[in-house]
Structure 1
Amino acid sequence: MSPIRIRWTFLAALAVLALGAVPARAQSSMEWIEGEWRWGNNETGCDSAQIMRVAYGGKYIISSYPDQGSRDSSEYRVLTVVPGVIRARITGETRKDAEGRAVLWDFVQLSEDSFCWRRSDWDPDGCTQPLYRCIVIGPGRDGVAVNGGDGEPWSRRRPVGR
């Protein structure tokens, strides 16, 4: 990685820290990104959740919408990880920034249950609408719903935080 790119990553992470966008318990690993997520403005809630998973020994993040088939699946090559921010490049990305470089994406952790996307060429405080974690309610040891215990079918997903 070039010194300029390393410097930009450090400055972006520093800006996020200075703006208070990193939650108090921000994780320096990528574990926080794994799970099902919904857009804050998504009226269907978690029924069309986006699934994020860390793959290939932490070198990639795979993003998919299983309810929409394989057409909406992306692979992100992880470039850097600092507390509360994962910087990655979409495999096959064709968009370029003003200087002609491939656009990079930051997964910015807003809380334990929310994050937003930020392009590398946006202002350090620029971010998309937040995405919120969906909790998967599943059967417990005795077949009883866990993680909420509200009696809903185990396959039902519900949003956290909003």
Structure 2
Amino acid sequence: MASFNEFREMVQQLDAAYRHWTGARLPAPDSLSEDQRLVWLHSHAPYALLAHGTEADPLFYYANEQALASFKYPREQFVGMPSRFSASPLDREMRQALLEQVTAKGIAHGYSGYRVDRMGQAFMIHQGSVWTLLDEQGARCGQAALFWPDPERVGQLD
């Protein structure tokens, strides 16, 4: 299993871009130190957190533990997979429209819809946010998403 240090910069980038667009950090318990918070976002968050790059057919390059559990992929298969495969062919048009909205506005909130896991089984995502990732110079370098897999736990951080 990879150590958290391999993911620290990615989690920091997702958090910084989220803060750029919302003025707030990614949701996490207030009681955590900065290092604990980053580990929590990666390993213990009850919501999925993932990111893809800017390729013509964008590839996932980050997924937290909840995202991997939701999609039922091992990290080595999920990372590098075209992000369009996270939605069934029937749902890809709606997903693409959402991503185009994010490209135009920087962020979109409140998205719910179906995604598909490794076995081809559809599952619902709730209260999703998708935002544009920025590099250190402020240039767009991908998109990130946060979604809740359980509607009963939306907003609960314990």
Q: Which TM-score applies when normalising by structure 1? A: 0.29
Structure with more of its chain in strand, by fraction: 1
Tell which structure's C-alpha radius of gyration is larger.
Answer: 1
Name which structure has the greater RCO, CA cutoff 8 Å, separation 6+.
2
